[in-house]
Amino acid sequence: MRGYAGVHIDPDELKKARLDRSLIRRAWRFARPYHRMLRFYSALIVLAALLGTIPPFIFKQLVDAATAHQAHRVDVWALAAVGMAGLTTGLSLLNRWFGARIGEGLIYDLRVELYDHVQRMPVAFFTRTQTGSLLSRLSSDVVGAQQAVGTVATFVSDVLTLIATVLAMIALSWQVTVLSLLVVPFFLLLDRRVARRLKELARARMSLNATMSTTMTERFNISGALLVKLFGRPEKEADEFAGQAAKLRDTGVRQAMVGRSLFAALALIGAVGTALVYWMGGRSIANGSLTVGTVVALAALVQRLYAPLTDLASARVDLLTAMVSFERCFELLDAPRTITEKPDALTLSNPTGLVEVDDVWFQYPAPSSVSIPSLTADAPLATNDDPSTFVLRGVSFTARPGTMTALVGPSGAGKTTLSHLVPRLYDVTSGTVRLDGHDVRDLTLASLGAAIGMVTQDAHLFHQAIGENLRYARPDATPADLVAACRAARIHDVIASLPDGYETVVGDRGYRLSGGEKQRLAIARVLLKDPAVIMLDEATAHLDSETESLVQQALAEALSGRTSIVIAHRLSTIQAADQILVIDEGRIIERGTHGELLAQGGLYAELYQTQYVRAPAEPTAGGPTAPTAEISPAR
């Protein structure tokens, strides 16, 4: 039985599968670049099927020559057998190369196209997609799609081998051929029944493997490992994993025994067929109607007769499995990219950083418009056609070049959502966001991305060296550039003290670094990018006072001469902002400077009073406590 290792196709999905012509045509598009190779490959398959019938005839001549005591002819036919063996071996290697080159090429093309499509998907897609399911599409399903090439090639080869073998046997003795075909129905019936059980066990084994893989992925990343240790559950985790492994072990034993039983039974049927050939052949030799060589040739051919029958019995299921994998890949390729670039999009050059938000209304898109049901944790949600309620309602403001605009307000007011509209992580529902006078939807995504830098509350770092993480912003940055950016971000001394310096691997999500160190590295990365606009989303949240002071100094350097839009809950960090926008329930309800807003006595003043007005502290010998460092706006 052929199997698709790691490819898990739901049985119900397979039952509903059909050989849809449009699906086949679309799948053929990926094989089209290899059409010349496919022609050679097809010719080799035909040639291999025809040449496979020749060795039995050579042995027929050899045996007949031996029984006739013609030694010289025995030598000739023995040499011919060796030559034919060498030829078929070379042909099989060449055949394998073409098959592997076409199949691996198809995997490469499909996987690259899928990866390119996925990484261009909008952020909304990733907020609803299970990462494990998405990774499965780019690994298991792509491999399953590759099997279509092998399945079709094997099917053609088996059919040609079967036809060529039957014709060769008929040429030698039609009576023996008919007798050998009598066992074929038993052969097919057994294969169908036991093969179905084997496939069920294979699916169960794949499902168990997937469960174990998920468990290991969640427990072996740093966050999962830490949680297990903090809650004192290593023994419980080991017991649960042992239970999963035991199920996998038991399923593997059953699969091995069923598979061995099938092959043993098929071997028995094949032996019966071979015995029938020898029985009739022996009687034919006795009455002089067949030679010994002819019987030997028929016995060799009957072995070639039964082998392809096993493959042909399951060929339809194998092909449907491969086509389902193609269908699942195409489903992902067809997922809509809602953030797209216009054909005539403008390239923004030398941006000044003027940001204008004009009467912006926004609601998050309907799940069905950004997700695929089979990739979501809760599939019914993905069929919901209703967008969210309005998160932003008629928001307007202007952030002039080189100034700081602060966004404050209660959690869920829409501050982060508003910051995501400027770099087009989402598109506005109505209204306009402009950069340097251009609607951001009219700009190329590359030039828009180059003009805007963002530092979030949880700075993400790849499991790579510090230098590689920094160069993600600018691949051509020199070591001197890295040092200059890190000095400005107040992180160079920390890096220099590490044994491997800038070659230090930061660990999963940068876990080997403290929160403040990750934030300063993220700021250094933005400095390397050198954008005209910087967005800060709670960049100093959850930091201690000393670390926050260092991060604030780094931010002051980063914001110098740039337009900045800062989201902050700690109001001390934005007191020097050029304008402060107070957002509540998706609307700007107050705007002004720190002093103006305190004088108004509105929500901002209330938030400030809640955070910073305390009973007078007792004086100390050192004088009053130093205030929290503030970001000074660039002028």
Q: Give the rounded distance of the alpha carbon of 81 from its chain centre.
A: 49
Q: Report pLDDT for 574.
A: 84
Tell me how crowded residue 283 is: count the other CB atoms within 10 A of its CB. 12
Token readout for 361 is 């209304």
Helix (H) or strand (E) holding 275: helix 234-287
Taking only the tens place, the pLDDT of each residue in 179-211 is: 888 887 877 777 667 766 776 777 677 667 767
The pLDDT-based confidence of 109 (bands split at 50, 70, 90) is confident
Q: Reduce the secondary structure of 295-330 to three states and give it as a string.
A: HHHHHHHHHHHHHHHHHHHCHHHHHHHHHHHHHHHH
Could you tell me the CATH superfamily of domain 402-424+448-612? P-loop containing nucleotide triphosphate hydrolases (3.40.50.300)
Examine the pLDDT at 633 and tell me if it is beyond 80.
Answer: no
Taking only the tens place, the pLDDT of each residue in 434-470 is: 999 999 999 999 899 999 998 887 788 888 899 999 9
For residue 265, give the 3-state DSSP assignment.
helix
φ, ψ dihedrals at 37, nearest 5° = -60, -40
Taking only the tens place, the pLDDT of each residue in 578-627 is: 999 999 999 999 999 999 999 999 999 998 888 766 434 443 333 333 33
Burial class (CB in 10 A: 0-12, 13-18, 19+), 292: middle
Examine the pLDDT at 100 and tell me if it is beyond 90.
Answer: no
Q: Report pLDDT for 266.
A: 73
Taking only the tens place, the pLDDT of each residue in 290-299 is: 888 888 888 8
Examine the pLDDT at 384 and tell me if it is beyond 60.
Answer: no
Q: Report pLDDT for 573.
A: 77
Examine the pLDDT at 397 and tell me if it is beyond 50.
Answer: yes
Examine the pLDDT at 245 and tell me if it is beyond 90.
Answer: no
C-beta of residue 309 within 8 angstroms of C-beta of residue 191: yes
Q: Report pLDDT for 629.
A: 38
Taking only the tens place, the pLDDT of each residue in 364-375 is: 888 777 777 767
Read off the pLDDT of each residue in 337-355 and give the average, rounded to a whole number. 91
Strand partners, 592: 580
Domain ranges of the chain: 13-172+315-337, 174-289, 402-424+448-612
Q: Which of 549, 473, 464 is nearest to 512 (CA)?
A: 464
Q: Report pLDDT for 280.
A: 86
Examine the pLDDT at 231 and tell me if it is beyond 80.
Answer: no
Q: Which of 597, 595, 614 is nearest to 408 (CA)?
A: 597
What distance in Å separates the CA atoms of residue 327 and residue 9, rounded to the nearest whole number?
A: 11
Read off the pLDDT of each residue in 237-266 and give the average, rounded to a whole number. 82
More confident residue, 463 or 632: 463
Token readout for 19 is 């050989």
Q: Pick from 27-41, 109-123, 309-323, 437-451 the range whose average pLDDT is largest.
A: 437-451
Instruction: List, in sequence order, every beta strand (DSSP E) within 364-462.
Output: 390-399, 404-408, 430-435, 438-439, 452-455
More confident residue, 376 or 381: 376
Bridge pairing between strands 587-592 and 579-584 = antiparallel
Q: Report pLDDT for 420.
A: 92
Token readout for 530 is 């050198």
| b/e per residue 435-461 (b: at least 16 CB within 10 A) | bbebebbbbeeebbebbbbbbbbebeb
With vertex at residue 595, the alpha carbon angle to CA 592 and CA 596, rounded to the nearest 5 degrees, is: 40
Place of tokens 């404050």: 408
Q: What is the percent of the chain with per-residue pLDDT over 70, rounded to a whole number?
A: 85
Q: Which of 619, 392, 433, 467 is nearest to 535 (CA)?
A: 433
Any idea which fold 13-172+315-337 has? Answer: ABC transporter transmembrane region fold (1.20.1560)
Q: Which of 444, 422, 443 is nearest to 432 (CA)?
A: 422
What distance in Å separates the CA atoms of residue 351 and residue 423, rounded to the nearest whole number?
A: 14
The pLDDT-based confidence of 635 (bands split at 50, 70, 90) is very low
Read off the pLDDT of each residue in 73-88 and give the average, rounded to a whole number. 91
The pLDDT-based confidence of 523 (bands split at 50, 70, 90) is confident
Question: Which range (27-36, 68-77, 336-345) has the least confidence?
Answer: 27-36
Examine the pLDDT at 128 and tell me if it is beyond 50.
Answer: yes
φ, ψ dihedrals at 579, nearest 5° = -145, 145
More confident residue, 312 or 608: 608
Question: Which range (216-230, 253-267, 375-389, 399-413) has the least confidence?
Answer: 375-389
What distance in Å separates the CA atoms of residue 363 and residue 356, rounded to the nearest whole number?
A: 19
Q: Pick from 31-40, 100-109, 194-203, 493-502 the range whose average pLDDT is largest.
A: 493-502
Examine the pLDDT at 324 and tell me if it is beyond 60.
Answer: yes
Question: What spatial distance separates the first Cα and last Cα of the chain, rounded to whole Å?
Answer: 74
> Mean pLDDT for the chain?
81
Examine the pLDDT at 630 and tell me if it is beyond 50.
Answer: no
The pLDDT-based confidence of 18 (bands split at 50, 70, 90) is low
Q: Report pLDDT for 93.
A: 92
What distance in Å separates the CA atoms of residue 403 and residue 566, rounded to the nearest whole number?
A: 11
Q: Report pLDDT for 544.
A: 64
Q: Report pLDDT for 578.
A: 92
Question: Which range (25-34, 356-365, 390-399) has the least confidence?
Answer: 25-34
**What is the signed CA dihedral for 303, 167, 48, 298, rounded to 10 degrees?**
30
C-beta of residue 30 within 8 angstroms of C-beta of residue 109: yes
